Structure 1
Amino acid sequence: MSRAKTTQTPPPRATIRDVASAAKTGKTSVSRYLNGEQHLLSDALKERIERAIALLDYQPSQMARSLKSGQTRLIGLIIADITNPYSVEVMRGVEAACRQQGLTLLVCNTNNELNQEKHYLQLLSSYRVDGIVINAVGMREDAISALQQSPVPMVLIDRKVNNFSCDVIGLNNVDATRTVTQHLLQQGFEAILFLSEPMTINTRLVRLHTFLQEMQHQPHKFAAQGEVELSDSQGLETLLRDFADRYADKRRAVISVNGALTLVIARAMRRIGMVWGKDIGLLGFDDLEWAELAGVGITTLKQPTYDMGYAALEQLVTRIQGSNEPIQEHAFPGELIVRGSTTLA
């Protein structure tokens, strides 16, 4: 005969009524204890409630508390590309600030897809998050419309969106680009190629325009620009070869618009036998851990990404608390880290 399997039914979750009964008090006193109003209770009563909560393993219903208070204590973070080390550092800063504020972070990765960004905006709104930090995908009209329609307080990080009034935390891209361009000029480079992913993001546009403006003041220097998808290895190799051939008699250098592209450029240079620090200069925005280990080292523009993430959450909290101060745009300074790739002999 087969013996029927029996399953144990888990014990019912303790309720606030159970805690009150075990502590020999009323539900009002327990609610005050849970809601941070412990100063209204005697020390003896607080101790009884604390013991009862531990004994019963009581877990308050966050949903019920949020419905009562009107706040969920949830924060959304929409990241454009979670595989990018920049994004990881931003997330660390936001998460650290959330812990400091007693908030819980929900992270969404759009993989640079606009439809995913719109989906997560709607999803986080349905979860009734108190606010959202967003690393926006792009500047298309439908993306801007999705942002404008969201009722949730937001702070943009890194990527400013035109025609969308919102606090922005990011790098001082104008000063940073001037710094890197002037560094290359001071190092004696005569032809500089600015390489970027497609110009769908405000940050990239600002860096390119600033670079071109700086080069306009150098009548005997040569500025070039190119756009490439990260996956287009052949196109990138062609851009690099054409630049090197066109300015074969000049001291040449490449500026990379971000860390993800810097890695792709470094690999392409290796494949075509182009050595940074010897044949050509190389400088990239974002200071990645491997940059100091790659050949003679790659010069980078370091962003305080952790601090930017932390500041974004702090600014968001002020909006959640009802601040009506004018829109803030906090631009952090960058730091030039000079290595062998831009110090050609």
Structure 2
Amino acid sequence: MREQHSPVPNIFLAPSMPDTDPSRTPTINDVAREAKVGKTSVSRYLNGEFDSLSDALRLRIQHAIRKLGFRPNQMARGLKRGRTRMIGMVVADIGNPYSVEVMRGVEAACQKQGFMLMVCNSDNQLELEKRYLNLLVNYRVEGLVVNPIGLPEEDLAAIGNTGLPMVIIDRRADRLQCDMVGLDNTQAATLAAQHLIAQGFHAIHFLTEPIGQISSRSEREQAIHQVVKKAGKQYLAITSEVDIADAAALQLALQAALHSKKRSAILAGNGRMLLNAALGLQGLGAHWPDDVGLLGFDDPNWAALAGSGITGIRQPTFDIGHAALEFLVQRIDGANTPPRFLAFPGELKIRGSTAALKSVT
């Protein structure tokens, strides 16, 4: 007998179907398949090259994108084109109103110029600042805006040596080949010290966070001492460097001003120091300007509401941030002029805390 064989079944391969797993992120290939077009056409649509596509083709691609919920990977597309349209920003202390206002200026300019802003807060920690700078470089941002705590110039120079455009805010670094934007600290501190002397204060107690390598603090200190020196030997300038978290050291500095034999004024180096000084004076039962004068840099909004109002040096912080980003975009676009330094003048806002003593009749 002949051996019987079972018939061999015909095997048909089912046509491949789009992956409908809702947890999977749709790709450009999925869009092309859904729209029944080539991947090149989808790429042209995503790049805004509409002139090369018919109206019908554009509508099909648009419908497919909406149906699938497709979102292009802007980072990957940017890297492929050599542009990410991303700006990195490192701020020293995001809790400081100064930093917030500068950041608002940078962000407004980014929106105007078509860039996205990535912000990192170093929280006044040098190691964290260094880590964030390296991280942003690795993320391929097109430029950096940095308000450094006191990072050594060689570390910032290492970033500059990568060819990445960078603008420094509120710091001077003579060895860095980059643009810098900030307050004219010499002008602003001179304005504040001259006002205090004109109001009859004979001792100026400059209350600042540790100066270290932070140029803005040292420039303010030097200007105050210079004004006092020119005023004559009967005037006195004292610098107290106080960690913002050291309540005991702050109290000692406040008491030194209150117990001075000369009529004294406290000049706070920034908005946070001004707030701590005002609260500390309240805790000691002191009143301005009768017991001590009070003036602060940054001129926060609450200063006008505290007692008779606190005199301040107002900085154009929004404009500083906006100008920094405009400088940066010029560098990104290829500007090769020598490094620029743009210094904005401070504005004195006079209130009751520095009023002259009433004459006794």
When the two structures are superposed, what TM-score results if normalisation uses the length of structure 1?
Answer: 0.89
Number of equivalenced pairs = 336
Alignment correspondent of 1:208: 221
Among 229, 233, 241, the residue aligned to 1:227 = 241
Alignment correspondent of 1:236: 250
Alignment correspondent of 1:4: none
User: After the TM superposition, which segments of 4 or more aligned residues of structure 1 sit over 6 Å from their partners?
Assistant: none
CA distance in 2, matches of 1:70, 1:139: 29
Cα RMSD (Å): 2.2
Among 29, 41, 44, the residue aligned to 2:41 = 29
Among 152, 160, 173, the residue aligned to 2:172 = 160
Q: CA deviation at 1:261?
A: 0.8
Closer, same or farther: CA 150–196 of 1 in aligned 2, 3 Å: farther
Among 284, 292, 295, the residue aligned to 2:307 = 295
Q: CA deviation at 1:203?
A: 0.3
When the two structures are superposed, what TM-score results if normalisation uses the length of structure 2?
Answer: 0.85
Tell me which structure has the larger Cα radius of gyration: 2
**Alignment pair present for 1:175 and 2:187:** yes
| Contact 2:257/2:265 (<8 A) preserved | no
Report the AA paired with residue 61 of structure 1.
N
Report the AA paired with residue 290 of structure 2.
K
Task: Kindly provide the CA deviation profile for residues 78-99 of structure 1, in whole angstroms up to 9, marking residues without a partner as x.
Answer: 1111111111111222222222
| Contact 2:258/2:291 (<8 A) preserved | no
Alignment correspondent of 1:59: 71
Alignment correspondent of 2:15: none
Report the AA paired with residue 183 of structure 1.
H
Among 306, 319, 323, the residue aligned to 2:331 = 319
The 5-angstrom pairing of residues 249-328 of structure 1 reads 250-328=262-340
CA distance in 2, matches of 1:227, 1:310: 31
Task: Kindly provide the CA deviation profile for residues 217-263 of structure 1, in whole angstroms up to 9, marking residues without a partner as x.
Answer: 101422222211112222222223233333x2x33211111111111
Report the AA paired with residue 91 of structure 1.
M
Task: Kindly provide the CA deviation profile for residues 4-39 of structure 1, in whole angstroms up to 9, marking residues without a partner as x.
Answer: xxxx94264433344345555443333223223334
Q: CA deviation at 1:43?
A: 4.7
Report the AA paired with residue 225 of structure 1.
T
CA distance in 2, matches of 1:311, 1:258: 21
Closer, same or farther: CA 43–181 of 1 in aligned 2, 3 Å: farther
Q: CA deviation at 1:69?
A: 0.7
Q: CA deviation at 1:336?
A: 1.4
CA distance in 2, matches of 1:11, 1:113: 39
Task: Kindly provide the CA deviation profile for residues 108-160 of structure 1, in whole angstroms up to 9, marking residues without a partner as x.
Answer: 11111111111111111111111111111115366445545554221111122
- SS of the counterpart of 1:283? strand
